[in-house]
Amino acid sequence: GENVEQHPSTLSVQEGDSAVIKCTYSDSASNYFPWYKQELGKRPQLIIDIRSNVGEKKDQRIAVTLNKTAKHFSLHITETQPEDSAVYFCAASIEYSSASKIIFGSGTRLSIRP
Amino acid sequence: DSGVTQTPKHLITATGQRVTLRCSPRSGDLSVYWYQQSLDQGLQFLIQYYNGEERAKGNILERFSAQQFPDLHSELNLSSLELGDSALYFCASSGGSDSRNTIYFGEGSWLTVV
């Protein structure tokens, strides 16, 4: 079945620097890749997603890139701010005709140093 | 607000007891997912339902069971509770008309077993 690996498990960056989180997936049929941010004790929230028909998507300081050939995708956060500190989860989804199935990575705890 | 409603928000119970967690998906969503998240852990997939039928099963213990009803709400039953079952249990839904692959999480149910 589908497997999603996420690296690194923890990441500490200086405020204002960039952060990059990488994920790989195993099933080439995956066609939807969302990223979620989870603050302590709260629900994961969708921050950006990308579908397999595009290679890159940006939303202000956040961008996601997808390499279908290598089966990996990455989250890039530029000009990091203290409020970016959270756990980030990548996911890969295989859409069937009647239901979608989603597999999450193990998460990356991002800490922003002041 | 994601539109996914979970009750109760907090629950404290003793070992050996049984509890039921309830989830109402977003309006129009047909898929419901259950996840378990222990302290500082990732999102452990338990089970998925689509339109009343079990669609995928993850690392769900035999002491746990779930179902999705005709009105699409779902319940997760946890029995013979152990201390290690203390966790945050998330329900999520997808399969609405806006984006079939996008998964939305509820606020979670905090279960403490004492």
| Burial class of B71 by CB neighbour count within 10 A (0 to 12, 13 to 18, 19+) | exposed
Is B107 in Cβ contact with A100 (below 8 Å)? no
Q: How many CA atoms lie within 13 A of B25 on its CB side?
A: 29
From first to last of the 114 residues of chain A, give the pLDDT tens digit.
678 999 999 999 999 999 999 999 998 888 889 999 999 889 999 999 998 888 999 999 999 999 999 999 999 999 999 999 999 999 998 776 555 678 899 999 999 999
Interface test mutation site (partner B, options A31, A39, A43, A88, max chain B beta carbons within 10 A): A43
pLDDT of residue B66: 97
Residue-level pLDDT at A3:
87
- Pick from A107-111, B50-54, B96-100, B107-111: least confident: B96-100
The contact set of A with B (CB < 8 A) is 31-32, 34, 36, 41-46, 49, 89, 91, 93, 95, 98-107
How many Cβ contacts (< 8 angstroms) between chains A and B? 60
Nearest CA in chain A to B94: A100
From chain B, the residues in CB contact with A98 under 8 A are: 50-51
Is the pLDDT at B73 greater than 80? The verdict is yes
User: What pLDDT does residue A65 have?
Assistant: 97
Q: Which chain A residue lies closest to B88 (C-alpha atoms)?
A: A41
**Residue of B62, B2, B1, B61 whose CA lies nearest to B32:** B2
> What average pLDDT does this structure show over B20-43?
91
For position B39, what pLDDT does the model report?
81
Residues of chain A positioned with their CB less than 8 A from the CB of B47: none
Among the partner residues A42, A44, A100, nearest to B95 by beta-carbon distance: A100
Higher pLDDT, residue B11 or A97: B11
Mean pLDDT within B22-46: 91
Q: Which of A44, A51, A39 is nearest to A84 (CA)?
A: A39
Which pLDDT belongs to residue B28? 87
The mean per-residue pLDDT over the stretch B44-59 comes to 90
Q: What is the pLDDT of residue B96?
A: 65
| C-alpha distance from A82 to closest chain B C-alpha (Å) | 20
Choose among A45, A99, A107: nearest Cβ to B55: A99
What's the confidence (pLDDT) of residue A99?
Answer: 59
Q: Residue type for A12, please?
A: S
Q: What is the share, in percent, of chain B residues with pLDDT greater than 70?
A: 96
Task: Report the SS3 class of residue A82.
Answer: helix
pLDDT at B97: 59
Q: How far is CA B38 from the centre of its chain?
A: 14
Residue B48 has pLDDT above 70, yes or no: yes
Least confident among A41-55, B13-27, B94-108: B94-108
